[in-house]
A and B are shown apart, each in its own frame.
Chain A
Amino acid sequence: MRLRDTLRSGLEALLGHGLRSLLTILGILIGIAAVILTVGLGEGAQSSVNSAISALGSNLLVITPGSSVSSSGVFAGFGSATTLTLADADALESKRVAPNVSGIAPTSQQPGTLTAGAANWTTSVVGTTASWVQVRDRQVAEGGFFTRAQVKAAADVTVIGATTAQELFGGEVPIGQTVDDGNVSLTVIGVLTTAGSSGSTNQDDMALVPITTAQQQIFTSGSSLSDVYATAINAAALSGAYQEIDDELLALHHIDQPSAADFTITTQDQLQSTANSVNRTLTDLLAGIAAISLLVGGIGVMNIMLVSVTERVREIGLRKALGAAPGEIRRQFLVEAASLGLIGGIGGVGLGVVGAIVIPHFESSPITISAFAAVGAVVVAMAIGLVFGVYPAARAARLSPIVALRTE
């Protein structure tokens, strides 16, 4: 029997039961669409987290207070201790101590409600130094950033993010205006360019003030820092910078054992891999659930193929009497089952692509469907059809032509 004839007889049998074939295909289609969308959602989330992390700056190291592993071996939350001070940051700025470090930006952060005229807006008030703008790789859109002198003098100035500016001043020019945080009046001297939102934190909604001003006038708690951002002079210098910071802070804090450190240094790569591994676990879980629906679709194919074999006992008997070998009957039914899977797979990828375009309009999560995932999904769908078609096809091939012809 020619391949063309095998394909034709299989497809004709499918068309002969249009509605039934369609419903079976639907089972596979929904399963494939679910898998491809959850995987796409995972990939989309991963790329948005990655771009958020790289938006933090380049060659960045983040020093946070507290140990990642406490002496008792129990995990303490990041930032749960208050061990980093401005003096630590000042020490790291020395070229002699840390030649591989090109910039240090200590930050201290608290939520605060700013008022400007009738408008008020709750945002994140960040106390930092003049090098923040360089370390975090940000630009000032209007006005300028505060200077070292202004930090030293604890000047009442602030640089705000684009969102904050919009909320407080609407269309007005913010530069030169005054915002109040509690009793302190701050003059807006600059607005940052937009950097986009990165997952949980909006990089465009903040009010930067000199750290001295923050600690002396605005913040209620003492002089501890929430993070110290450091940049290495280049990518190759990252590990050197890491070592220098580690050594210097251990020495300043009088700690002998590196394992007993009361601070944690995290590189951008580590941030990325931590975020990705959390992401991957979630994606795997969702894809696993979606795969179960695909399995159910496969069982649907098997069910319908068994019905089809029972229904066509006479046809199979006749084909055998006319000279069809068992293998030829088997192939005809396998073509039918594989076609159900293939059509379901193509339809499922189609539905997934439509979903990837439509869903982000309602949910703020981007969905990325790669060509690899699409092709893989179609291949998997066809394989599911084939695998679940093996048993029904074998049953058809085993039918005795005598018994089959006698059936009325």
Chain B
Amino acid sequence: MAAEPRDPAARVPVMFDDEPTLPIVPAAPGPPGRRSIIAIENVWKTYHPGDLAVHALRGVTFGVSEGEFVAFMGPSGSGKSTLMHIMGCLDNPTSGRYLLDGQDVSALSEVQLARIRNRRIGFVFQSYHLLPRLSASRNVELPLVYAGVAPDQRRQRALAELTKVGLAERVQHRPTELSGGQQQRVAIARALVTNPAVVLADEPTGNLDSQAAIEILDLLRTLHRAGRTVVLITHDADVAAVAERIVQIRDGQISSDSGAA
């Protein structure tokens, strides 16, 4: 795992030569000396399921700096899933501003958001979301397919990531031939293969037994120590405890933040 300080030029690999020209807006200042990865400013998200307006997020503001390991915690219905969707560029905020790695992504088109997700975000889901017919290696390669990376290079990078999560021997196995913990490791390798700005893990241990859960959390901690920015979303206080900073969400607002200055 590369632990050296990463500058923006090094983060964008050369194979992303069709990088869209997005407006670069200076990020809100984070803790001194650290680059801001996520800067969320007064974000609201309102749904209109019927006549009534439902506010899933009510003016949320926070920042995540490079190399931080932050857990967002809250019960179901607190708005943490909505926040995760917005942080993951799966959804646009109704109002407010979101800067991801220095780029304002709050009002991008669907195609632009797809590109941002591909290059800046590594997702880890509760139910792994691996494609059952593809080998571990080809599952890990998938984000690189959409980045337009050549097959040889994809295979090399997938193998490298699978080796880092301890699955070098399982490269050709299909998900059904792997245990839950191993499947989640494949998913983590897939999240890392594009070298994203942030890894978003949504209840990554929700489907695992306690032993496998401990291993996955250890793996996330290892990523953090190696310099990765990791955001964990969970309802479980024990899981949130592995993070260095815990943000509590309740009724669409931040109720406490252990890392707030």
Residue B63 CB within 8 A of the other chain = no
Q: Which of B29-37, B119-127, B246-254 contacts A (4 or more CB under 8 A)?
A: B119-127
Determine which of B115, B117, B150 lies in contact with A321 in the assembled complex, contact meaning CB atoms within 8 Å.
B117
The 9 closest A-B pairs by CB, nearest first: A323-B118, A323-B146, A325-B114, A322-B143, A318-B129, A325-B111, A5-B145, A323-B117, A324-B146
Query: Which residues in A have their C-beta under 8 angstroms from that of B91?
Result: 402
Q: Given A1-B148, A325-B111, A326-B110, A16 and B117 touching (CB < 8 A)?
A: no
* 8 interchain pairs, CB-CB under 8 A: A2-B148, A4-B151, A315-B131, A317-B129, A322-B142, A322-B146, A323-B119, A325-B146
Determine which of A4, A16, A318, A320 lies in contact with B114 in the assembled complex, contact meaning CB atoms within 8 Å.
A320
Query: Which residues in A have their C-beta under 8 angstroms from that of B48?
Result: none
Residue B170 CB within 8 A of the other chain = no
Residue B90 CB within 8 A of the other chain = yes
Query: Which residues in B have their C-beta under 8 angstroms from that of A405?
Result: 90, 125, 129
**Interface size, B (range):** 20 to 34
Give the docked Cα–Cα distance between A320 and B118 (Å): 9
Give the docked Cα–Cα distance between A243 and B148 (Å): 76
Residue A327 CB within 8 A of the other chain = yes
Give the docked Cα–Cα distance between A326 and B110 (Å): 8
Residue B221 CB within 8 A of the other chain = no
Query: Which residues in B have their C-beta under 8 angstroms from that of A4?
Result: 151
Interface contact B143-A323, CB-CB below 8 Å: yes
Residue A256 CB within 8 A of the other chain = no
Give the docked Cα–Cα distance between A315 and B129 (Å): 8
Query: Which residues in A have their C-beta under 8 angstroms from that of B151?
Result: 4
Q: Given A326-B110, A402-B90, A318 and B146 touching (CB < 8 A)?
A: no
**Interface size, A (range):** 20 to 34
Residue A138 CB within 8 A of the other chain = no
Interface contact A1-B129, CB-CB below 8 Å: no
Q: Which of B123, B145, B190 has most chain A Cβ within 10 Å?
A: B145
Interface contact A318-B148, CB-CB below 8 Å: no
Give the docked Cα–Cα distance between A405 and B127 (Å): 10
Nearest A residue to B193 via CB reads: A322
Give the docked Cα–Cα distance between A307 and B151 (Å): 30
Q: Which of A1-24 contact B (CB under 8 A)?
A: 1-2, 4-5, 9, 12, 16
| Chain B contacts to A: CB under 8 angstroms | 85, 88, 90-91, 110-111, 114-115, 117-119, 123, 125, 127, 129, 131, 133, 142-143, 145-148, 150-151, 190, 194
Give the docked Cα–Cα distance between A2 and B133 (Å): 20
Nearest B residue to A322 via CB reads: B143
Interface contact B133-A16, CB-CB below 8 Å: yes
Determine which of A314, A325, A328 lies in contact with B129 in the assembled complex, contact meaning CB atoms within 8 Å.
A314
Interface contact A1-B146, CB-CB below 8 Å: yes
Query: Which residues in B have their C-beta under 8 angstroms from that of A323?
Result: 114-115, 117-119, 143, 146-147, 194
**Digit string of A157-189 for contact with B (CB within 8 Å is 1, else 0)?**
000000000000000000000000000000000
Nearest B residue to A314 via CB reads: B129
Interface contact B90-A318, CB-CB below 8 Å: no
Residue A319 CB within 8 A of the other chain = yes
B229 shortest CB reach to chain A, Å: 18
Nearest A residue to B131 via CB reads: A315
Kindly list 7 other residue pairs between chains A and B, CB separation below 8 angstroms, not including A9-B145, A16-B133: A1-B145, A2-B148, A2-B150, A317-B129, A323-B117, A324-B114, A405-B129
Give the docked Cα–Cα distance between A9 and B111 (Å): 20
Residue A408 CB within 8 A of the other chain = yes
Give the docked Cα–Cα distance between A315 and B110 (Å): 18
Residue A392 CB within 8 A of the other chain = no
Give the docked Cα–Cα distance between A252 and B208 (Å): 109
Nearest A residue to B191 via CB reads: A322
Residue A401 CB within 8 A of the other chain = yes
A27 shortest CB reach to chain B, Å: 25
Q: Which of A2, A318, A320, A322 has most chain B Cβ within 10 Å?
A: A322
Query: Which residues in B have their C-beta under 8 angstroms from that of A325?
Result: 110-111, 114-115, 146
Query: Which residues in A have their C-beta under 8 angstroms from that of B142?
Result: 319, 322
Give the docked Cα–Cα distance between A318 and B90 (Å): 11
Nearest B residue to A329 via CB reads: B114
Nearest A residue to B194 via CB reads: A323
Give the docked Cα–Cα distance between A288 and B129 (Å): 48
Give the docked Cα–Cα distance between A347 and B173 (Å): 34
Interface contact A319-B146, CB-CB below 8 Å: yes
Give the docked Cα–Cα distance between A321 and B202 (Å): 13
Give the docked Cα–Cα distance between A112 and B147 (Å): 86
Determine which of A317, A326, A328 lies in contact with B146 in the assembled complex, contact meaning CB atoms within 8 Å.
A328
B157 shortest CB reach to chain A, Å: 14
Query: Which residues in A have their C-beta under 8 angstroms from that of B145?
Result: 1-2, 5, 9
A10 shortest CB reach to chain B, Å: 13
Give the docked Cα–Cα distance between A321 and B118 (Å): 8
Q: Which of B110, B114, B150 has most chain A Cβ within 10 Å?
A: B114
Q: Given A319-B142, A322-B142, A324-B146, A408 and B114 touching (CB < 8 A)?
A: no
Query: Which residues in A have their C-beta under 8 angstroms from that of B143?
Result: 322-323
Query: Which residues in A have their C-beta under 8 angstroms from that of B88?
Result: 321
Give the docked Cα–Cα distance between A2 and B88 (Å): 25
Query: Which residues in A have their C-beta under 8 angstroms from that of B150?
Result: 2
Give the docked Cα–Cα distance between A322 and B85 (Å): 13
B144 shortest CB reach to chain A, Å: 9
